[in-house]
Structure 1
Amino acid sequence: MPPSAGGASGRWPAEAHAAIERFLSASRQPALLEPGEDHFPLAPGCFLVDWNGQRLTIQVWDRTRSLVRRVTGVKHENPGKLTLVIEKFPRREGQVLLLDLARPSLAGISLQEKRLSFREEFRRLLARNFPDWKIAELSTEQDLEHSLSRLYPRALLRKGRLGLAAMGAPPGGGDADGALSCGLIWLDYLRQREPKLTIEGLAVFLPQGWERATCLRLRFLDPAAARFQVYVYSPEGYADLVDLRDYGNVDTRLEPARDETAGLSGRVLSWTERLGRGPHVERISRGSGSLSLCVRGLEFARCAGDTLEFGLARKMAAAAQDLPEIEAIARELARLRSPQAPDRENPLYRLQPERWLESQIRSHLEEIDSSLLPAPV
């Protein structure tokens, strides 16, 4: 459906209004997402669709944010997903998405949303800390050919004939330790791709409290090969350059392996044992007192104490009567996430390829090194 640039005739806004009504009536968990921002749940009392016959606007709000956009048309309409064309100041065209987060096919949207949101935060961090440099490239796109992950936003900064590689680890810290490895791959790739630039080094941005392991590793890299910098950013969006000399191997420790099932209640333990008998289901300790149930790296349930939560895009508390549904989810994941999958373009097949690779390594440790024990891992 082609959008109208100004919506003067009211035709395209009218069709957009009808499409929004269809979407809302068919959705169980509707949400609005503007690329680069956190989504707004379209809960009763938290949004307004205003249509006066000529002008269509949509307003959404929560406790801390609000957004108002004029809708000029519909770009795509699919089950559970509606892409709207909007007018942004000053008279620029943009897009917002209406999504039904209850649909399994949109399981990756929440992760994608977080990545896009952090990508824009990473852009602001770079602009503040490298004001004399130009951000020539910033991406979260996956590039399997060059082993570039979508987990970490990466950037190329330029100042004349000088270049600088930059890599960011998202908030939460769960993936912080992998940022340096991906950053070194990015640095090497840029040096090969940009022979006319002198890519002098790598800047890694890490969430506060998760920088220690990376700083210790950097102390053992050759400073003549590249200039390495670590910036630690706070939840408020401020970053500080750390001094690698402040990090030494004076606090060595090895976390003991823990049996995460020991903290589970009797009923939850029996549920995990039942679910663990499903095809290709793995039970993985997350080191935080919780146990994760995955199929080829994709988590479909997590439990701790007397609680088991299940779901892909959003987790819901489970009861005994939900077990058949959870088993069905696991079986469907095993069918879709398979080397013999009928549809390799399915989002559930393509979701989290790094976790899938990790799953393969876990199940074939002896082939990598016969001295490695299969548990604990």
Structure 2
Amino acid sequence: MVSAQKKAARPTPVSALREQIESFLAGCRQPAALEPGEAPFEVTPAAFHFTDFPKHLQFEIWDEQRTLMRRITGIHQRRTARLTVETARFGGKPGLLTFTDLGRPQSAAPLLESSRSVLRELLRRWLARQFPGWTLDQVSSGADLEHTLSPACPRACLTKGDRRIAAVAVPLPHAADALTHALLWLAYLRRRHPVQEIAIFLPCGTQTTTLLRLQHLNVACRPFQYDDSGFEAPIDPEDHGNLITRLEPWQEGPPEPVNEAQSWTRQVELQPSVQGVQLTGGARSLRVNGLEFARYEAGLLWTGVFRKEPAPNLAAVEELAREVALFRHSGGPAPEHPWLLRQPESWLESLVRDQVTMLDASLLPRPVYGQVPALTGCERACLDLLAVEHSGRLAVIELKASEDPNLPLQALDYWIRVAHHAARADFRANGYFSGLPISCKPPRLLLVAPALQFHPTTETLLGFFASNIQVERIGLGVEWQRIPRVVLRASGARSPEWDQTDL
């Protein structure tokens, strides 16, 4: 009798399963349920329900737009911030469902994987609607580091007879680099089969940069936009709007010091390690190997590397200049000093400013401008310079000190804007290159980086550039911070010519 009572009191496997899940959810600060291909469900007491059956636990959850019902058959894996259970869909198809705590940092990984799964499944639906009669040959969101294919952007290939279309869906955080992902996927497929065009799905409101770039690329593309509800619609490739850019009038500072702060600025600039860079509006930046330590602006001299304060006196500024020069050079006394490691692109910029003819003897050594026109609303990892040839043709110089697959298309953004203003003769009208003839021809584009830091995909991406864009890669030797020297040159997408004496 006692034995029978004990047996009756023992929890069933289903009730034990439910107890484990409820215990996990009770310990979560912000519980959520994730299933591959679906956006996360917030788990609130009023929006989910468990039902016990003899052989499984039925779980139902809903929000304002969706309902999800699954049969839970067992625990798959349990960790601090997530609990993954085994499920059976209707028809018996097995699957996994993850309960996670959005209030813990450990939930970032399953959330990221869930969002990628959602976008991958949306891409399937979009392609089925937009390309009826085509066969979805493959769809993937896996990482392929060898070919620089990101797991963040699901990709697919459609076939119809002997025709093929590449397709890519781009999430919002990667919208600025959408064409980089799309073109690398297209190039990957073309190494195996002829592919005629590419379809690219962009978040609403992010299409302008992509559409502007497409005007200067040799690629057939069908752009689409999608909204938060998952609805997609075609975009007219010509509907890129007006070119949004800004060319500030160039204003040189007064030729002679007119106040104490300007006098200090000019005296500090006489130090051999200090480089003075004229900025728009009469401001002047004082730098050592590209690292700014002082700036004259609005009648005051501001000093400091990480935080600027009004200069107390000339001696303090000169002492700071000497201290920065001590650490900000190759072979300095502290290899890990933050002043040495900070802003390598700015260091590269300072070298090119001083020795621009090293890149090409046809360039005038002066003047060389930094980032004009400004790219409104763009965050850029590269730095740009604008120089001019003896003939009057402009040269856009894009600088990058480390590997970056986005370098070619980011450089194209700047080239587009400079070409726009050159055609309108805006540079002469706004005071740039005073006294020099400025051509209205499209500018040259020079990509400058340490030779071993050009990303392997650079040639691939340059192969899509329109023929009217004269682009050249220029690589510096490994000791460029100590002895700047050109060791690599390549035109367009051609293989480079190397001088291997200084790699």
Quickly name the TM-score band, shorter chain normalised: 0.5 to 0.7
Question: How many residues were matched structurally?
Answer: 254
Structure of larger gyration radius: 2
Partner of 2:196, secondary structure, is strand
Give the structure 2 partner of residue 365 of structure 1: 345
Contact 1:14 1:53 in 2 (8 A): no
Q: Distance in 2 between matches of 1:166 and 1:19?
A: 42
Q: Distance in 1 between matches of 2:342 and 2:238?
A: 35
Q: Distance in 1 between matches of 2:35 and 2:167?
A: 25
Q: Distance in 2 between matches of 1:129 and 1:255?
A: 40
Q: Distance in 1 between matches of 2:347 and 2:34?
A: 44
The alpha-carbon deviation at position 184 of structure 1 amounts to 0.6
Q: Distance in 2 between matches of 1:114 and 1:235?
A: 12
Q: Which amino acid aligns with 2:138?
A: E
The alpha-carbon deviation at position 13 of structure 1 amounts to 3.6
The alpha-carbon deviation at position 246 of structure 1 amounts to 4.1
Q: Distance in 2 between matches of 1:19 and 1:48?
A: 15
The alpha-carbon deviation at position 32 of structure 1 amounts to 1.0
Give the structure 1 partner of residue 296 of structure 2: none
Contact 1:33 1:40 in 2 (8 A): yes
- Change beyond 3 A, Cα 1:177–1:80: closer
Contact 1:164 1:199 in 2 (8 A): yes
Aligned residue among 242, 248, 251 for 2:243 = 251
Contact 1:76 1:84 in 2 (8 A): yes
Q: How does 1:216-231 map to 2 (within 5 A)?
A: 216-222=212-218, 226-231=219-224
- Change beyond 3 A, Cα 1:40–1:247: closer
1:194-227 per-residue CA deviation (whole Å, 9 max, x = no partner) reads 2xx22112111122332222111111112xxx42
Q: Which amino acid aligns with 1:77?
A: R
Q: How does 1:182-197 map to 2 (within 5 A)?
A: 182-192=181-191, 194=192, 197=193
Q: Distance in 2 between matches of 1:42 and 1:254?
A: 48
Q: Which amino acid aligns with 2:202?
A: L
The alpha-carbon deviation at position 44 of structure 1 amounts to 2.1
Q: Distance in 2 between matches of 1:16 and 1:254?
A: 62
The alpha-carbon deviation at position 191 of structure 1 amounts to 1.5
Q: Distance in 2 between matches of 1:72 and 1:156?
A: 36
The alpha-carbon deviation at position 234 of structure 1 amounts to 4.2
Give the structure 1 partner of residue 174 of structure 2: 175
Q: Tell me, which stretches of 5 or more residues in structure 1 are unaligned?
A: 1-9, 257-360
- Change beyond 3 A, Cα 1:15–1:368: farther
Q: Which amino acid aligns with 2:245?
A: R
Give the structure 1 partner of residue 205 of structure 2: 209
Partner of 1:107, secondary structure, is helix
Contact 1:82 1:98 in 2 (8 A): yes
- Change beyond 3 A, Cα 1:84–1:236: closer
Q: Which amino acid aligns with 1:220?
A: H
Partner of 1:132, secondary structure, is coil
- Change beyond 3 A, Cα 1:42–1:245: closer
Aligned residue among 189, 192, 199 for 2:195 = 199
Partner of 2:44, secondary structure, is coil
The alpha-carbon deviation at position 165 of structure 1 amounts to 1.1
Percent sequence identity is: 35
Q: Distance in 2 between matches of 1:367 and 1:184?
A: 31
Give the structure 2 partner of residue 357 of structure 1: none
The alpha-carbon deviation at position 238 of structure 1 amounts to 4.2
1:102-121 per-residue CA deviation (whole Å, 9 max, x = no partner) reads 22222233333222222211
Contact 2:14 2:53 in 1 (8 A): no
Give the structure 2 partner of residue 46 of structure 1: 47
Q: Distance in 2 between matches of 1:104 and 1:35?
A: 20
Q: Which amino acid aligns with 2:226?
A: Y
Partner of 1:45, secondary structure, is helix
- Change beyond 3 A, Cα 1:254–1:142: farther
Give the structure 1 partner of residue 38 of structure 2: 37
Q: Which amino acid aligns with 1:132?
A: G
Give the structure 2 partner of residue 352 of structure 1: none
For normalisation by structure 2, the TM-score amounts to 0.46
- Change beyond 3 A, Cα 1:108–1:363: farther
Give the structure 1 partner of residue 423 of structure 2: none
Q: Which amino acid aligns with 2:71?
A: R
Q: Which amino acid aligns with 1:82?
A: L
Whether 1:129 and 2:130 are equivalent positions in the alignment is yes
Q: Distance in 1 between matches of 2:227 and 2:91?
A: 32
Give the structure 1 partner of residue 101 of structure 2: 100
- Relative to structure 2, which stretch is displaced further, 206-215 or 120-129? 206-215
